[in-house]
Structures are given as structure tokens and as C-alpha cells.
Amino acid sequence: MAEMKTAAYICSGCGLGDKLDIAQLGKIAQNEGKIALVRDHAFLCNSEGVQMIRDDIEKEGVTHVCIAACSRRAKTEAFHFPTVAMTRANLREGVIWVVAEGSEHDEVRQEMADDYVRMGCAELKKVKLPQGNPNTTLQKRILVVGGGMSGLTAAFEAAEAGYEVVIVEKQARLGGWANKLWKRVPFKAPYAEPQDTGVAVLAAKVSTHPRIKVHLNSTVAETAGAPGRFVVKVAQESGAVTEEAIGAIVQATGFTTYDIAKLPELGGGQANVVDQAGLEALAQAANGGALKRADGKEIKSVVFLQCAGQRDETGQHLAYCSGHCCATSIKQAMYFKDANPDIDTVVLYTDLRVPGMGEDFYRSAQEKGVIFTKGKASGVEAAVNGCKVSFKDLILDEDTSLDADLVVLATGQVPNAGVNLDAWDKAVSEADGGSEAAKQNKSEMQKISILNLSYRQGPDMPQFKYGFADSHFICFPYETRRTGIYAAGPVRRPMDMLQATEDATGAALKAIQAVENASLGRAAHPRSGDLSYPIVRLEGCTQCKRCTVECPFGAIDEDEKRFPVFNEQRCRRCGTCMGACPVRVISFENYSVDTVGNQIKAVEIPDEFSEKPRVLILACENDAYPALDMAGLSRTVYSAFVRIIPVRCLGSVNTIWITDALNSGYDGVMMMGCKKGDDYQCHFVKGSELAGYRMGKIGDTLTGMGLEPERVSSYEVAITDNERVAKFINEYVAQLVEMGPSPMKGFG
């Protein structure tokens, strides 16, 4: 290994030279930072500046580079030097763009820049160039579980991109729910008529594709391994088991309809009341002719009740809207009008939701004579020839009723997501108690499992709200908490067929990204391409199991001696294990307790008489740090008394950083992370939640140090909160000024 040679490059462009003493920054890097080679440049990111750095790497043997210029989120292509370890000191967005104009601010502005150079140099001494995970894999086959429209699309798109695909479908033929539809909602112009599903054509393409292998009448019996090296056992109905080597997995197991029997007040269970799936069966039987009820009577009048058991505020039924139901009812109403324009068709709705070009479809239905009535159904009763629908007309504000030969309930989508892990944990715990009933319950739950993962966290993926396969559908589509396993289609969130095919294409691309990264020893999302991975000093491990329990992605197992075993291909490089470890034996080559700790200690702390507080900000690199950058971009002024260190995730924050900072004389610590809870925005799912839990216990430590609990504060910051984040900082600094300097000053 080459001997470390450090270099610091200080830019004077973008106004830095006008606002800062560049020569002083160079002296700090050289004398305090002990950097071997220090250079400044008028325009560091131009071709001349970049070439200067390249020449030093090649000719001077530089192995570690600190660039003091703009944010590390800027000019990443220009400052791309893959053969050296690198740190960035943020002087532009982090200093000159956020400190107020005027000569009276020159001193604090320069102090801020001085500290960031000190921090960049201090971090550099502890950073190593990541060498990449040596356990690289070459397996790039993609498994698709589920052969409906989502699964077929994911498989076909991946195969067309050049990847081998294996499909596992539990039914005897491909197609899933689409096989049960007479027509589909239009997905191309003119958006006026129901269109052919196209599922037969797609299934034929998949079945004959040279890169796709299909298992019908099959389920997944076991899934072991990690991205690039999954081993999946596929069980056929005959009892035979086939083992498949897989690189990444797309779960496209679809949905079932909400049980109509749970809606007796709307006629669920009555002979002449069906759900939308039941109506499709009647339409298929009619094959374009007159639709008939189960008793053979030709239907002359039909009422569609929207939101049946959906958008329910009582907690009895589905709380969400399934998205497709309004357009589906419009489509089904057209089945009747196309067969016989004289049939009475009424769609009873509270809100019509037809996104995209659905408005054109709705207008087309009106032109065909479909009646749309804004009302809320109060009951459906059996009548002599059919049903009586009682409802409140929301336009006329009066109670009324309609008679119909058939009532169609627009029930929602319930995801086929497998075992709910919260229930699974409870079942396993009770089964371990030995009761036969508990063991039977565990066995029954096991039958629900779809992926049968051999993970210590349980056999399926964690579920998000309402039982959907875990994936924050706004921020992180497709990405579940099991690295290399992606959710697509209605198992991920409610959606129609068009959305499901688009969704499946996205999931296939994510699966491709995962296998390619695994083959190169890199991390998957969100730090895609990161070559670092967790390294543990087992001789210092106390076997406390906190890392294995707190890892959000099931990336850490235990060996027979209960030591942690790191599964690098599953790891997302969030550092949550590092934050969890009480003895600090877990680290990454380019991110560790020491890389951050050195930065904290490098800051020059003014004495208690200077009236210059120092506040440490640990900012999540995914949302909070970009928000701070954008505050700079918009020239939003905030206090020059803060010193900001980006962290991979608040989950990676080790409490030693907090105690070190306070012991060093910092007046306060701000932690800025993503929103937590059900609508979490944390890129690592539980990082900000875990940080909140850990910091909730730090109060006793502060009290023991003789410090007020307010000296450590946490904030939820979204990526768009550039103005709000500046407000947080200014208010917190004002609060600390009022509180007075830390009693720890002078003892650091």
C-alpha cells in the first residue's frame, strides 16, 4: 500500500477570493492540518485546475485530496478522482453564500471558512480509499414472482435489456387478474372506448422469449443469499423442487379484491349484488352480447356504487382509495351501453377520480348515456326483481332511492404482500412458548409467505401502510427494505393496469441496477456505486446484538458464537450499525467514528468571553444537507456560529460524537434528519427514527455533565426546506445565546 501523501486545493473562484483570505486558509491547511502539498487556484473546477490536481496525483504521488471550494454535492464530475481518497470543505454554499454581507461580518465569515478547512484536513487523515467488496458476484439473472401484467412486463423489459429472467407463477397460466377482464380502461388515444387487455399477446411474447424461463403452478419455497447470489428454491405443484441462482428479485404478486361479504349494508352477499370482478365475469360470459345475471335474467338497469368499503374513516374497512375504481366503473357501464343503449346505467359517487386522460373517458361515457349521480349510499335491499338502492343525493340534499336489476360495488385492492412481520414476530414468540395452538398458528402464517426469506427478520418484506409491500411510494418507489428485492404493481400501492406496467418497468430497471452494482462490489441505492462496506473489529465486539437488531435491511446475521456477520451485498451503507455500536468497532473506509470525530475536534472553540457560540450541526446528506446547500444557493442568511458535518443518515450518528462535541465546549448540537413515522422520508427507512430513540436517552448524560437538555436538539428537514432550515438555525442559536455559554468551555 502506498504511503499517504496529502494535498489541499483551495479555490478562489465564485467570489471566494473576494470574501475570504485564501492565503490564510492555505497556512491553516499547511500548519494546522499538516497537509504535505497546498495549492490555490483561481478557478479550480476548470480544465486547468482539474489538470493540476491530476498532475499532482500522477507525478507527486498524492493519495489523499482535500478540496476547499464548493459543496461536495457540486462539481462532482469535475472533481472525480477515483484513485485517491477525497474530502470536501464547503466554502461557497456553506460560508460566503450564507453569511450576511458587510465588513462587520468579515471576521466571523473567515473564522467559519478557517474551521471548514481544518475539518476537511482532519477528516482526510482518517479517510481511506474504498477498495470495494471483494465478494463480488457474477449472477445477473432476475427472478420475477408473479405472472400478471406487472410480472410479465418486468420480465419482458428485463429480458429485452439483455438479462436472463425466471418467472414463478402459482397459477396454471400467465396473465393474473388481466385474464379475468373483458376489456381494460383505455391507455392510448382517443381514450373513448374500453380496449383489449393485450395480456394474451404479452404472455405469448414472454413464453417464447429465449431469455425467459417460466415456472407455472409454482411457488417460492425458500429465498436465501443476497443481491448477486440469491439461491431460490421453486416448488412445483407436483412436489418437485428446482433451485435457481438469482441476482435480484421483483415481487409482482398483485392483489385480491376486498371481500364483498364484509359489506352487508351495501348488499354484499345478496344474489344480485356483485363486485367489479364479478361484473367482469358476467361480461366475459356475455362476450359482447347482453349481460345477464347469475339467474339468467337479462340486465336492464344497473347501479354502480363507488368507494364501497374504501376511503373509510371508521376503521372497519379500507382507509385508502384504490385509484382505478372510478375508471373501471365507467368502463363497465360502457359494457352495458355498448350492448344496448337503452339499459339504465347509473354511477353513484362522492368524488370521481379519473387521472390522466380519464376525463376524456368520462365524457365519452356521458355521451353514451351513462348517468353520473353525486350521492352517498345508505343501504341496498333485495327487491322483487333486483335491488333497491337508498342514498342521499348530495346535489339536491335529499334522501331518495333507485331500483336496479344489478348493483356493482367498487371494492378496493388488497395487496398479496405475504406475512406481516409484526404478526410473524408475535407468532414466533408464542410458538417458542410451546403451545400446540401457537405452533399451528405459526405454521398457518408460514403458508401465507410469498418469498420465504431465510432472514433473521422474518420470511417476507416489511409492509408499509395498509399491508402493501414496504416501499415509500413517493420517495423510493420499488425499493423495499430487503436489498435487491423490489416491489412492483398493486402489491406496492393501489394502481390501474397502465400504472402497473409502468411500475414494473421501473422495478426491472432497479433490479438491473442492483445486479450490476453487486457484480462490481458496489452498494445499491441510495448510495449507488459506493465501494465502501462495513468493517468490524470482532475482538472488541461485546455481542450486544444492537447492530443486528437495528439494521433496517437485514444485512447483519449472527454466527454460532453470536458475533455479527456482515452481508455486504445486502448492505445499503447507511451506517446505522455504526451508530448503534456502543464500543465503536464498526466503521467504513471512508466514513467512521473517527472521520466525523476528527472534524468535531478540529473546530476552534472561542472562550466563554468571546460571545461567539459554536453549534455543531449533524446533517443528513439526503435531505438536510441539500436543503442547507439550497439555502446558500438562494442566499438565505443564517448564523455563522454553526459548523455543519454531513452524515450518511442520522441513524449513523454515534452518541460519542455528541458527548465529544459538548466536552469540547460546543454550546449546542443540532441534528437534522428526515421525517420519520408512517409517512417517513428517511432514505434508510428507520434511520431518523432510531436516532430519535437514541437521543431520547441522552438527557441523563447531559444532566450528568451539568448541561441543559436543550443543548442537544433534533429537527425534521425536507429537501425543500431551505428557508425553514435557516430559521431553525437562527432560532436555535438565539436560544443558546440566551441560555449562555456552555460550562464545558475551557475544559475541552
Per residue in 592-633, pLDDT tens? 999 999 999 999 999 888 889 999 999 999 999 999 999 999
Compute the distance between CA of residue 174 and CA of residue 254 in angstroms, rounded to an integer. Answer: 13
Residue 592: inside a domain:
no
User: Domain boundary at 519, 547, 566, which?
Assistant: 519
Name the one residue in this structure whose C-alpha cell is 396454471. 172
What is the pLDDT confidence band of residue 134, given thresholds at 50, 70 and 90? confident
pLDDT score for 747: 60
Residues 194 and 90 in one domain: no
Residue 567: inside a domain:
no
Which amino acid, one-letter code, is at 703? T
Range list of H helices, 258-324: 276-286
Within 8 A by CB and 6+ apart from 430, the residues are 438, 441, 442
Which amino acid, one-letter code, is at 32? E
Q: What angle do CA 153, 159, 161 make, to 5 degrees?
A: 105
Residues 297 and 407 in one domain: yes
Report the CATH number at residue 171: 3.50.50.60
Residue 528: inside a domain:
no
Does residue 500 contact residue 489 with C-beta atoms inside 8 Å?
yes
Name the one residue in this structure whose C-alpha cell is 408460514. 446
Residue 430: inside a domain:
no
Long-range contacts of 529-532 (CB under 8 A, 24+ apart): 530/130, 530/573, 531/130, 531/131, 531/132, 531/133, 532/130, 532/573, 532/588, 532/589, 532/590, 532/591
Compute the distance between CA of residue 418 and CA of residue 160 in angstroms, rounded to an integer. Answer: 29
Is residue 1 over pLDDT 60?
Answer: no
Report the CATH number at residue 684: 3.40.50
Number of alpha carbons in the 13 Å side-chain half-sphere of residue 419: 25
Residues 303 and 337 in one domain: yes
- CA distances in angstroms from 568 to 483, 572, 737, listed in the order given: 10, 8, 45
Residues 159 and 186 in one domain: yes
Compute the distance between CA of residue 154 and CA of residue 145 in angstroms, rounded to an integer. Answer: 10
What is the pLDDT confidence band of residue 746, given thresholds at 50, 70 and 90? low
List the one residue out of 620, 587, 618, 591 whose CA is nearest residue 687: 620
Compute the distance between CA of residue 133 and CA of residue 524 in angstroms, rounded to an integer. Answer: 12
Compute the distance between CA of residue 240 and CA of residue 217 in angstroms, rounded to an integer. Answer: 11
pLDDT score for 748: 52
Handedness of CA 108, 114, 118, 119 (dihedral sign): positive
What proportion of the chain, given as a percentage, has pLDDT over 70?
A: 99
Number of domains in the chain: 4
DSSP letter, residue 33: S
Residues 6 and 108 in one domain: yes
pLDDT score for 429: 85
Q: What angle do CA 268, 274, 275 make, to 5 degrees?
A: 95
Residues 68 and 152 in one domain: no
- CA distances in angstroms from 667 to 334, 561, 656, 739, listed in the order given: 69, 43, 16, 9
Is residue 588 over pLDDT 60?
Answer: yes
Q: What is the pLDDT of residues 148-204, one digit of tens each?
A: 999 999 999 999 999 999 999 999 999 999 999 999 999 999 999 999 999 999 999
pLDDT score for 488: 97
For 487, phi and psi rounded to 5 degrees? -105, 140
What is the pLDDT confidence band of residue 649, given thresholds at 50, 70 and 90? very high
First-to-last CA distance in the chain?
35
Q: Which residue has the higher pLDDT, 559 or 621?
A: 621
Residue 600: inside a domain:
no
Residues 652 and 736 in one domain: yes
Residues 95 and 49 in one domain: yes
Q: What is the pLDDT of residues 91-123, one digit of tens each?
A: 999 999 999 999 999 999 999 999 999 999 999
Query: In whole numbers, what is the pLDDT of the chain averaged over residues?
Result: 94
Residues 249 and 338 in one domain: no
User: Among 392-396, 426-430, 612-616, which is the least confidently predicted range?
Assistant: 426-430
Residue 425: inside a domain:
no
Report the CATH number at residue 110: 3.40.50.960
User: Among 345-349, 399-403, 469-473, 606-610, which is the least confidently predicted range?
Assistant: 469-473
DSSP letter, residue 553: T
List the one residue out of 213, 247, 250 whose CA is nearest residue 230: 247
User: Domain boundary at 89, 105, 129, which?
Assistant: 129
User: Domain boundary at 412, 428, 451, which?
Assistant: 412
What DSSP line would sit under 649-703, residue for residue?
Answer: -GGG--HHHHHHHHHHT-SEEEEEE---STT---TTSSHHHHHHHHHTT-HHHHH
Residues 27 and 62 in one domain: yes
What is the pLDDT confidence band of residue 716, given thresholds at 50, 70 and 90? very high
Range list of H helices, 377-496: 421-432, 436-448
Is residue 743 over pLDDT 80?
Answer: yes
Q: What angle do CA 232, 237, 238 make, to 5 degrees?
A: 105
Domain span at residue 28 reads 1-129
List the one residue out of 158, 195, 116, 189 whose CA is nearest residue 640: 116
Residues 719 and 654 in one domain: yes
Helix (H) or strand (E) holding 518: helix 497-519
What is the pLDDT confidence band of residue 723, given thresholds at 50, 70 and 90? very high
Residues 124 and 150 in one domain: no
Residue 447: inside a domain:
no
- CA distances in angstroms from 586 to 192, 462, 546, 555, 604, listed in the order given: 60, 25, 12, 14, 28
Q: What is the pLDDT of residues 479-532, one digit of tens each?
A: 999 999 999 999 999 999 999 999 999 999 999 999 999 999 899 888 888 999
Residue 599: inside a domain:
no
For 650, phi and psi rounded to 5 degrees? -60, -25
Compute the distance between CA of residue 193 and CA of residue 187 in angstroms, rounded to an integer. Answer: 10
